[in-house]
Amino acid sequence: MFAAQTTILPMNILFSTYQFNKIGNKIAIPFAVSEYWRLIHIQSEASYIYWDGNMIEVKQPGAYLVPKGVYMGVISQDVCKINSYEFSPIPGAISSILQFYLSCCKPNSVLSFDSIIHLELYAKIDMLNRYFENPYRAKQSLQASEYFMSALSLFQDLFLKEILPPTMTIADKQRLNSFLSLVENYFDVQHDVAFYADIMNEPYNNIEDATIKIFNVNPEAIIQIRAIRQSVRLILSQKKSMTSVAQQLNYNLIEWKQLFKKINGLQPDKYLFKCSPELIKSAYALA
């Protein structure tokens, strides 16, 4: 049995509940590109999140933050309930460091916060669920929105605390945020770090120091990783050809294939076959 409730509240928050009362494989959240940011609270075990081709096992109830643009879905093998909050953050509300980390790094090790360890966050999420699941939540919409922003802020603080090294200065953080924000805007047309350094009025070495401290790669690799991650999404969601994707991201096909293998470890055709939604659905006997 599946039930969904959706309500739009202030601050462009779209709330949905997905609920299944039978054991067995099922698609709990359909596979699609996230049009908005999404905070997902999975309140059961024995589930999998499909995230840009990666299958992430959910071993206990947890919260997951999904950036806009990720190709994702949820498969559940048990009775489950999932609350989903889709939202459009105001500019600057979410750190560019966090956005890049979630969008482009391996999500299985950095994605979730569990209910056992992160008690303060889960207290906020529990209160958030009470507001949004309440039949009279429209009357409490301002308080619900405030609780949502409070939970999102705490989620971000916890995440950055985990990934930012103690040696990173405020100047490093600001520099990296600026660079990643520019990369998000221009990765599909500009691959030269000098372009970004000129806009930032920063020497290359300063930018490199910041990217290596967090991601252990140079600025060129940051741009390449973002472009190849976008490639995966375009092919999985829009069924575009490799030639078309390479051209859209301003690479020649040979260069694009070399970068794809360098970043993902497999040639594009083998990687995309391995993680295609059709293969995943077949493996779990899903329609």
Q: What range defines the domain where residue 152 resides?
A: 2-163
Whole-number pLDDT of residue 245? 94
Residues 137 and 234 placed together within one structural domain of the fold: no
Cα–Cα–Cα angle for 80, 27, 73, rounded to 5 degrees: 100
Phi, psi of 220 (to 5 degrees): -60, -40
Whole-number pLDDT of residue 271? 86
Q: Which of 135, 163, 191 is where one domain is finished?
A: 163
Residues 155 and 188 placed together within one structural domain of the fold: no
> pLDDT averaged over consecutive 10-residue blocks of the chain (287 residues)?
59 80 78 88 81 80 85 83 87 86 66 63 82 66 78 86 84 94 95 96 94 92 94 86 94 95 89 79 65
Residues 156 and 188 placed together within one structural domain of the fold: no
Residues 159 and 176 placed together within one structural domain of the fold: no
70 part of a folded domain: yes
Whole-number pLDDT of residue 17? 85
Residue 54, beta-bridge partner list: 51
Whole-number pLDDT of residue 135? 60
287 part of a folded domain: no
Task: Write out the two tokens for 38.
Answer: 């999404």
283 part of a folded domain: no
**Do 260 and 231 form a contact (C-beta atoms < 8 A)?**
yes
Q: Which of 163, 179, 208 is where one domain is finished?
A: 163
Residues 39 and 131 placed together within one structural domain of the fold: yes
Residues 40 and 158 placed together within one structural domain of the fold: yes
- Collapsing DSSP to helix, strand or coil, 2 comes out as strand
Residues 85 and 203 placed together within one structural domain of the fold: no
Cα–Cα–Cα angle for 202, 179, 69, rounded to 5 degrees: 170
Residues 185 and 95 placed together within one structural domain of the fold: no
Residues 37 and 91 placed together within one structural domain of the fold: yes
209 part of a folded domain: yes
Q: Using CA atoms, how far apart are residues 117 and 102, in angstroms rounded to an integer?
A: 20
What are the b/e assignments for 68-94, b being 16+ CB within 10 Å?
bbbbbbbbbbeebbbbbbbbebeeeeb
Q: What is the CATH number for 37?
A: 2.60.120.10
285 part of a folded domain: no
Sign of CA pseudo-dihedral 93, 97, 100, 105:
negative
Q: Which of 122, 139, 163 is where one domain is finished?
A: 163
The whole model's pTM is what? Answer: 0.86
Residues 138 and 191 placed together within one structural domain of the fold: no
Residue 229 Ramachandran class (φ > 0 left, ψ -120 to 50 alpha, else beta): alpha
Q: What Å distances lie between residue 216 and 7, 97, 179, 259, CA to CA?
A: 42, 13, 15, 17
Residues 158 and 205 placed together within one structural domain of the fold: no
Q: Using CA atoms, how far apart are residues 46 and 70, in angstroms rounded to an integer?
A: 22
Q: Three-state SS string across 209-277, please?
A: HHHHHHHCCCHHHHHHHHHHHHHHHHHHHHCCCHHHHHHHCCCCHHHHHHHHHHHHCCCHHHHHHHCCH
**Total domains in the fold of the chain:** 2
